[in-house]
Amino acid sequence: MKIIVTGGAGFIGGNFVHYMTNKYPDYKIICLDALTYAGNMETLEPVINKPSFKFIKGDIADRELIYKLFEEEKPDVIVNFAAESHVDRSITNPDIFLRTNIIGTSVLLDACRKYGIKRYHQVSTDEVYGDLPLDRTDLFFTEETPIHTSSPYSASKASADLLVQAYYRTFKVPVTISRCSNNYGPYHFPEKLIPLMIANALNDKELPVYGKGENVRDWLYVEDHCIAIDLIIHKGRVGEVYNIGGHNERTNLEVVKTILKELGKSESLIKYVTDRPGHDMRYAIDPTKIHNELGWEPKTLFDEGIKKTIKWYLENKKWWENIISGEYQNYYEKMYANR
């Protein structure tokens, strides 16, 4: 089996590459990544010398490169993680989100159509469903919840989802889609809530909480996402959407306070800052379908996962200090100064 993992130098794709190379030493795993600001070869250090692994630097929206790759490698499966993934960046600069997330997906789908494939898997997000009200804790996203997006990021991911479904119906490309809730764990880029708060707390810097910190996310330990995708590409039904996540809901403030407590830091580091425009209130997944069909359920609950994650950041300071000491400082200044 030969699998192309796009975006494998990023957070979830990197964890997936580690997981798959360990679990299936006989599979050939090819990582295609453009190495944007979010891609990091240090994330691939544990696998880079494995004979079953190959890294190729390239852009999923580069049609010539993608066709050549398909022609040469003849992959069985594509798992598409490659994306611009940060909501705040999509608010300041939507263009690149359209190019990578929509055009990039369409180029991959065209290649699948042209060269043939056993499975194309699209790594989507629960953000395509929009948000749920805080006072309706009885409501959850199911696969039937209408697509209703809020940010340029979620709109671009929803567009990609719709294209994937269109290529299944019109051209019979054998696709699956997963829509996962917020992930956390090792190798998470420090622009996102959990690693940002861990890094700032360790450096005794203010922790910028948007609005009142009452927004709710349904946190999933990244390994559980990898396990779910592995199940879907091997046993999932072609043409189907699977929600991944479930029942690890926390407010942002709860998350931040848990991190401070674990690190023995004071809550006085919390600074309430101007809210994100269009900020989604609550995400919450109903994972009944993937549970019933594929037997998946999260192995790591939040209270354990957050401890493991903090431990990883403490033991791998070099990985994130290299990031936050570089170009990231300009980003941080632009995003948070005078906020």
Active site annotation includes 62 = no
Of positions 1, 35, 65, 162, contacts ligand NAD by CB under 6 A:
35
| Residue 196 binding result from ligand NAD, ligand TYD, none, given CB thresholds of 5 to 8 Å by partner type | ligand TYD
Catalytic residue among 59, 126, 218, 223: 126
Active site annotation includes 27 = no
CA atoms within 13 A on the CB side of 21: 24
Binders of ligand TYD among residues 221 to 280 (CB under 6 A) are 252, 276
What φ, ψ does residue 215 adopt, rounded to 5°? -65, 145
**Cα separation values, 307 from 186, 198, 257, Å:** 11, 11, 13
Is residue 100 a contact residue for ligand NAD (CB under 6 A)? Answer: yes
What φ, ψ does residue 184 adopt, rounded to 5°? -150, 160
Of positions 125, 150, 200, 248, contacts ligand NAD by CB under 6 A:
125
Binders of ligand NAD among residues 173 to 192 (CB under 6 A) are 180, 182-183, 189
Binding track, positions 180-209, relative to ligand TYD; x by CB under 6 A: --x---------xx--x-----------xx
Active site annotation includes 153 = yes
The number of residues that bind ligand NAD (CB under 6 A) is 30
Is residue 217 a contact residue for ligand TYD (CB under 6 A)? Answer: yes
Is residue 85 a contact residue for ligand NAD (CB under 6 A)? Answer: yes
Binders of ligand NAD among residues 223 to 262 (CB under 6 A) are none
Residue number with CB closer to ligand NAD (66 or 201): 66
Is residue 75 a contact residue for ligand NAD (CB under 6 A)? Answer: no
Name the minimum Å distance from CB 157 to ligand NAD. 5
Is residue 36 a contact residue for ligand NAD (CB under 6 A)? Answer: yes
Binders of ligand TYD among residues 59 to 98 (CB under 6 A) are 87
Name the minimum Å distance from CB 185 to ligand NAD. 10
Binding footprint of ligand NAD on the chain (CB under 6 A): 6-7, 9-13, 33-36, 38-39, 59-61, 81-85, 100, 104, 123, 125, 157, 180, 182-183, 189
Active-site positions read 126-127, 153
Binding footprint of ligand TYD on the chain (CB under 6 A): 87, 182, 192-193, 196, 208-210, 215, 217, 252, 276
